[in-house]
A = this chain, B = another copy of it.
Amino acid sequence: MLKLYDYSDSGNGYKVRLLLNQLGREYELIEKDILAGETRTPEFLSLNPNGRIPLLQTEEGSHLPESNAILFYLAEGTDFLPGPGLERAQTLQWMFFEQYSHEPNIATSRFLLRHRPDSPERQAALNLRRGPGKAALAVMERHLTDRDFFVAGRYTIADMALYAYTHVADQGGFDLAPYPALNRWLDRVAAQPGYFPMLEEG
């Protein structure tokens, strides 16, 4: 059976749990408390030298890190990942956008507000991420103005990847009211079969 090493408050982990639920795949969940250093133990580092969750153990016992690589692995051959060619590359385009332009700003702001005490250093770190985070949301809004989903006119792993930290962006101090197309997309994702919001059971 698949095993998922994860931390329940992680949006990167939530992406994978959402896909697994929507695929109807069974898996064993192994909670690792990143705040307690449980992903930096010698035992965990022997499974993922980069010391991060989520980490998937495949049916064959291999260990695959990086949330978006896990999404790709599990979705290959299903409707959640377009076939070879431009649409598949566009799916990856938005997943790389998510990890480079979105997550480091929006997820990191949420982490700082939830798990670090207020301080001038925390405020400076939040300030650095405000502009780039809003820019990422604006890029999404523009793309969604005349589209229902990010790629291929249907719900794919690009939507799952971007949904994870967008639907809790308010917890990072990002007000989503100025993004009407993005809000309609959030509702569309939440209406998918097998959907559950972060921090609730699948």
Interface residues, chain A, CB within 8 Å of chain B?
Answer: 49-50, 58, 60, 62, 64-70, 72-73, 76-77, 84-86, 88-90, 92-93, 95-97, 99-101, 103-104, 139, 142-143
A90 touches B64 (CB 8 A): yes
Oligomer: number of copies: 2
B84 touches A70 (CB 8 A): no
Chain B residues whose CB sits within 8 angstroms of the CB of A58 once the complex forms: 86
Chain B residues whose CB sits within 8 angstroms of the CB of A139 once the complex forms: 49-50
Point out which of A95, A100, A139 has the most chain B C-beta atoms below 10 A from its C-beta: A100
A1 to B20, CA, bound (A): 40
A100 to B67, CA, bound (A): 11
B99 touches A96 (CB 8 A): yes
A70 touches B89 (CB 8 A): yes
Chain B residues whose CB sits within 8 angstroms of the CB of A86 once the complex forms: 58, 60, 62, 64, 73
* From B92, B99, B100, B143, contact of A72 by CB (8 A): B92
B77 touches A93 (CB 8 A): no
Point out which of A65, A84, A92 has the most chain B C-beta atoms below 10 A from its C-beta: A92
Chain B residues whose CB sits within 8 angstroms of the CB of A69 once the complex forms: 89-90, 92-93, 95-96
Complex: chain B residue closest to A140, CB-CB? B49
A69 to B92, CA, bound (A): 5
Chain B residues whose CB sits within 8 angstroms of the CB of A70 once the complex forms: 89
* From B65, B84, B143, contact of A93 by CB (8 A): B65
A84 to B78, CA, bound (A): 12
* From B76, B103, B142, contact of A85 by CB (8 A): B76
* From B65, B97, B103, B104, contact of A50 by CB (8 A): B97
Q: Which 5 A-B pairs have the closest CB atoms?
A: A73-B89, A69-B93, A66-B96, A69-B92, A66-B93
Complex: chain B residue closest to A65, CB-CB? B93
A69 to B161, CA, bound (A): 15
Q: A66-B96, A69-B92, A69-B95 are in contact. List 19 more A-B contacts (CB 8 A).
A: A49-B142, A58-B86, A62-B86, A64-B86, A64-B93, A66-B92, A66-B100, A68-B92, A68-B96, A69-B89, A70-B89, A72-B92, A73-B85, A76-B85, A76-B89, A92-B92, A95-B96, A99-B99, A100-B103
